[in-house]
């Protein structure tokens, strides 16, 4: 029997947009096991190399012995464990906020956070390249949404200036943009927020653990922690675990616990994950050596790429995209790398704008210089083949 979704799938395939999941089968590190053999891993968000850390495993296993696995209910019913409360307190102390509210994932934090804290009559000013979860949260909020060109402060200022509404004004941005790796101009955003009486909603998914003193994030690095009304952090990236939080004032936290549907109407994160995340806060705090190594990996990738003539995007973070263009082409190069034992995922629309499909290389403190060399020489070989094909020598 033919499926009612055959034409939808055909449409995706024709545009090179069907996703096929790659399977992995081992702990995350510089390498990962797969059914097709071990691969050098250059697309996880395990920036500090903590995902397989022995202390995280131990905390998780110990808590599983004590509590079992599932929380078995929403946090608003019977699923709110002492470990969840403790993790919220630890995070609030870590990021220096009055309170923090846990969510099972960053996607849920943004969707639930924006729809609970922003409402009809409010106005959102959002960078055009924010994460999909923020886009969805903005839609659900029912506020009016103004999109400003990526990091264009003049555009943001003009939009703020034009706005005559009586509601809250909220400027929304990623701290490090997830697909481009560049930084939000937070100090300038803060100046505009001050001038126009706006609040800032900052998603620190890729900066938390990496930037700022002890990895406290971009707001802390800029000395603006107490000026950002809402900070979102994820625990599945540099923290090596899973889940997310919103750090905010006590009143906003109470609103979230009473109104964020992605917190109210979902089962709480398993208590052993909360135990592992508590340990991860300590590990992240003490991870200066890993942060230095990551920084050195980033600069050695950029220096080596430049020597080879390989064009990278203007990013100085662990996210180093190589823009390819056509979706099919990005997938083809990703597949060729996979066959050579290197895993870099191709990122295509709608995750990135049409015509900017890319290989999103992510670096970790777990990588060694030799890993980076192998990635670059292999990738450069493939891209050079393409150039040679396009420009046949006469
Ligand atoms: C900027 C940003 N926010 C939120 C998320 C979602 O986080 P999670 O993977 O915990 O759902 C991501 C994930 O990739 C992200 O890049």
With a cut of 80, say whether residue 385 has pLDDT above it.
Answer: no
Distance 24 CA to ligand 1 centre (A): 20
Three-state secondary structure readout of the chain: CCCCCHHHHHHHHHCCCCCCCCCCCCCCCCEECCCCCCEEECCCCCCCCCCCCHHHHHHHHHHHHHHCCCCCCECCCCCCCHHHHHHHHHHHHHHCCCEEEEECCHHHHHHHHHHHHCCCCCEEEEECCCCHHHHHHHHHHCCEEEEECCCCHHHHHHHHHHCCCCCCEEEEEECECCCCCCECCHHHHHHHHHHHCCEEEEECCCCCCCCCHHHCCHHHHCCCHHHCCEEEEECCCCCCCCCEEEEECHHHHHHHHHHCHHHHCCECCCHHHHHHHHHHHHHHHCCHHHHHHHHHHHHHHHHHHHHHCCCCCCCCCCEEEEEEECHHHHHHHHHHHHHCCEECCEECCCCCCCCCEEEEEECCCCCCHHHHHHHHHHHHHHHHHHHHHHCCCC
Q: Ligand 1: which of 105, 106, 130, 203 to mutate, judged by most atoms within 8 Å of the beta carbon?
A: 106
Confidence of residue 393 (pLDDT cuts 50, 70, 90): very low
To the nearest whole number, what is the mean pLDDT of the chain? 96
In this prediction, residue 15 has a pLDDT band, given cuts at 50, 70 and 90, of confident
The answer to whether residue 122 sits within a structural domain is yes
Residues 98 and 237 in one domain: yes
Looking at the structure, do residues 272 and 314 belong to the same domain, yes or no? no
**Which one of 236, 260, 285 terminates a domain?**
285
Give residue-wise pLDDT tens across range 173-225.
999 999 999 999 999 999 999 999 999 999 999 999 999 999 999 999 999 99
Q: For residue 267, is it within any domain? A: yes
Residue 237, in any domain of the structure: yes
Does one domain contain both 133 and 46? Answer: no
Task: For residues 171 and 103, state if they share a domain.
Answer: yes
Same structural domain, 223 and 317:
no
CA 241 to chain centre: 13
Same domain, 69 and 212: yes
The answer on 195 and 81 residing in a single domain is yes
- Within-domain flag for 65: yes
pLDDT in the model for residue 390: 59
Give the residue-averaged pLDDT of 88-98. Answer: 98
If one counts the domains in the chain, the total is 2
| Structural domain span for residue 315 | 20-50+288-385
Q: Is 13 part of a structural domain of the chain? A: no
User: Which residue is associated with the tokens 């060399």?
Assistant: 373
Residue 75 lies in a domain: yes
Residues 173 and 296 in one domain: no
Active site residue 206: yes
Span 162-182, average pLDDT = 96
105 is catalytic: no
Cα(269) to centroid(ligand 1), Å = 16
Residue 1 confidence (pLDDT): 79
Task: State which of 135, 232, 234 you would mutate to test the pocket of ligand 1, scoring each by most atoms of that ligand within 8 A of its C-beta.
Answer: 234
Ligand 1 pocket residue status of 244, Cβ below 6 Å: yes
- Does 372 lie in the same domain as 266? no
Residues 213 and 329 in one domain: no
Ligand 1 atom nearest the C-alpha of 236 is: 10
Is 1 a domain residue? no
Q: Is 165 known to be catalytic? A: no
pLDDT category of residue 391 using cuts at 50, 70 and 90: low
For residue 17, the model assigns a pLDDT of: 86
From 285, 308, 328, give the residue that closes a domain: 285
* Same-domain status, 171 and 212: yes
> 244, 270, 285: which is the final residue of a domain?
285
| CATH number of the domain where residue 371 is located | 3.90.1150.10
Q: Is the pLDDT of residue 392 over 70?
A: no
Q: Among the options 39, 151, 190, 237, which is catalytic?
A: 237
In the prediction, which pLDDT does 231 show?
98
Q: Which pLDDT band, with edges at 50, 70 and 90, does 394 fall under?
A: very low
Per-residue pLDDT tens for 287-322?
999 999 999 999 999 999 999 988 888 999 999 999
Residues 373 and 227 reside in one and the same domain: no
- Domain CATH for 120: 3.40.640.10
Residue 15 within a domain? no
Alpha carbon of 1 to ligand 1 centroid (Å): 38
Per the residue annotation, which of 178, 242, 334, 364 is the catalytic one?
178
Task: Check pocket membership of 106 for ligand 1, CB cut-off 6 A.
Answer: yes
């Amino acid at each position: 029997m033919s499926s009612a979704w055959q034409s939808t799938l055909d449409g995706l395939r024709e545009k090179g947009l069907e996703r096929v999941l790659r399977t992995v089968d081992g702990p995350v590190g510089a390498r990962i096991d797969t059914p097709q053999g071990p691969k050098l891993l250059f697309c996880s968000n395990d920036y500090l190399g903590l995902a397989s850390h022995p202390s995280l495993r131990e905390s998780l296993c110990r808590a599983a012995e004590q509590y079992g696995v599932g929380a078995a209910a929403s946090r608003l019913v019977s699923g709110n464990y002492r470990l969840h409360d403790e993790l919220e307190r630890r995070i609030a102390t870590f990021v220096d906020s009055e309170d923090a509210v846990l969510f099972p994932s960053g996607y849920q934090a943004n969707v639930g956070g924006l729809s609970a804290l922003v409402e009809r009559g409010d106005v959102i000013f959002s960078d055009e390249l924010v994460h999909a979860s923020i886009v969805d949260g903005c839609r659900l909020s029912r506020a009016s949404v103004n999109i400003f060109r990526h990091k264009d402060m003049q555009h943001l200022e003009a939009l703020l200036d034009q706005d005559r509404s009586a509601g809250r004004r909220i400027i929304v941005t990623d701290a490090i943009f997830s697909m481009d790796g560049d930084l939000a101009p937070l100090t300038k955003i803060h100046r505009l927020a001050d001038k126009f009486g706006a609040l800032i909603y900052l998603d620190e998914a890729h900066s938390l653990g990496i930037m700022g003193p002890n990895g406290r994030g971009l707001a802390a690095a800029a000395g603006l922690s107490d000026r950002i009304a809402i900070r979102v952090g994820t625990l599945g990236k540099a923290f090596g675990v899973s889940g997310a939080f919103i750090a905010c004032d006590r009143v906003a936290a109470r609103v979230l616990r009473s109104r964020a549907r992605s917190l109210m109407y979902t089962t709480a994160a398993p208590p052993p994950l909360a135990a592992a995340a508590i340990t991860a806060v300590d590990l992240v705090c003490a991870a200066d050596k890993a942060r230095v190594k990551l920084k050195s990996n980033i600069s050695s990738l950029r220096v080596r790429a430049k020597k080879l003539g390989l064009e990278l995007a203007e990013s100085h973070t662990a996210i180093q995209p190589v823009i390819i263009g056509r979706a099919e082409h990005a997938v083809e190069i990703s597949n060729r790398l996979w066959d050579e034992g290197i895993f870099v995922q191709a990122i295509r629309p709608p995750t990135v704008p049409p015509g900017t499909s890319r290989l999103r290389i992510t670096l970790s403190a777990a990588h060694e210089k030799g890993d980076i060399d192998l990635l670059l020489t292999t990738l450069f070989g493939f891209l050079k083949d393409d150039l040679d094909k396009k420009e046949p020598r006469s």
